[in-house]
């Protein structure tokens, strides 16, 4: 017997001629396994942009029995887990909705807890960009935005700390008040500098950069920002 698969001709069937057939309505969508997703799998509905493309954390560990570690969609799953408030069920729903792929929330939780280190997700921004001129230009002349982001992260991190003693609670409250005051002052200074005669054209360009979709277009904007900055520095000498 040959294993060669022959093409099958499909023809329309008139249900009136087969009145004895019992049709069973489909109540649930048939899902595929997450392990069957390939790098070129096409989403059922358009996939939204990666919620945190510039995020960096240790995730090089690979457990051979883990379907997520060995999946080409590992990074996207981890990013969705982080952006969805670290809720495994939301990530499960995301892949069911966009790919018709099923994966258990237990698998997601186990992978995130043991196969990548989210405790090192936050880094010193200025140190990280120290040797990356193109990326540094993104925040050049937008130091107020970077400062607001850094202080807000510190404030959220501080809110999550548990203090048992009264002295520790007082210190926590004092630091939170100081951070809040700094955030308010930076925002006030930024808003006050927003008059027409003091428009920060570098910030305008980088805002346009952030709204662009394609990396080639972003590189053009970064190149212009870099060129303008070098020209200003040259004129100031």
- Amino acid 85: pLDDT: 85
Domain coordinates in residue numbering, the chain = 32-120, 127-235
- Amino acid 7: pLDDT: 62
- Amino acid 135: pLDDT: 53
pLDDT band at residue 41 using 50, 70 and 90 as cut-offs = very high
pLDDT of 102 strictly over 90: yes
Indicate whether this model's pTM tops 0.75: no
Of all residues in the chain, the percent with pLDDT exceeding 90 is 28
Range 136-143 contact pairs with CB under 8 angstroms and sequence separation of 24 or more: 137/206, 137/222, 137/225, 137/226, 137/229, 138/206, 138/209, 138/222, 139/206, 140/202, 140/225, 140/229, 141/200, 141/202, 141/203, 141/206, 141/229, 142/200, 142/202, 142/203, 142/206
Q: Are 61 and 116 in contact (CB under 8 A)?
A: yes
pLDDT per residue as tens digits for the range 169-211: 777 777 777 777 777 777 777 666 655 445 677 777 788 888 8
- Amino acid 123: pLDDT: 45
How far, in Å, are 76, 99, 214 from residue 47 at the CA level?
Answer: 11, 9, 15
pLDDT band at residue 5 using 50, 70 and 90 as cut-offs = low
Minimum mean pLDDT range among 11-15, 111-115, 165-169, 205-209 = 11-15
Q: Determine the Cα–Cα distance for residues 51 and 135; give it in Å rounded to an integer.
A: 18
pLDDT of 66 strictly over 80: yes
pLDDT per residue as tens digits for the range 133-160: 555 555 555 666 667 777 777 777 666 6
- Amino acid 199: pLDDT: 63
Minimum mean pLDDT range among 10-14, 122-126, 203-207 = 122-126
- Amino acid 129: pLDDT: 46
pLDDT per residue as tens digits for the range 78-99: 999 988 888 999 999 999 999 9
């Amino acid at each position: 017997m040959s294993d060669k698969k022959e093409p099958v001709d499909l023809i329309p069937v008139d249900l009136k001629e087969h009145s004895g057939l019992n049709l069973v309505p489909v109540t649930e969508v048939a899902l595929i396994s997450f392990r069957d997703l390939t790098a070129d799998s096409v989403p059922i509905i358009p996939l939204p942009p990666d919620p945190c493309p510039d995020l960096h954390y240790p995730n090089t560990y690979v457990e051979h029995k883990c379907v997520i570690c060995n999946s080409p969609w590992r990074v996207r799953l981890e990013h969705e887990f982080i952006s969805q408030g670290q809720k495994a069920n939301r990530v499960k729903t995301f892949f069911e909705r966009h790919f018709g792929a099923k994966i258990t929330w237990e698998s997601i939780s186990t992978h995130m807890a043991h196969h990548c280190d989210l405790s090192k997700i936050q880094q010193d921004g200025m140190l990280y960009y120290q040797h990356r001129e193109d990326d540094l230009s993104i925040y050049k002349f937008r130091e107020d935005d970077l400062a607001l982001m850094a202080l807000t992260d510190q404030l959220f991190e501080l809110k999550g700390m548990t203090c048992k003693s009264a002295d520790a609670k007082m210190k926590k409250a004092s630091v939170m008040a100081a951070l809040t005051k700094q955030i308010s002052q930076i925002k006030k200074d930024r808003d006050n500098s927003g008059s027409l005669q003091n428009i920060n054209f570098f910030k305008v360009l980088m805002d346009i950069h952030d709204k662009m979709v394609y990396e080639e277009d972003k590189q053009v904007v970064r190149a212009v920002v870099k060129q303008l900055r070098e020209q200003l520095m040259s004129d100031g000498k």
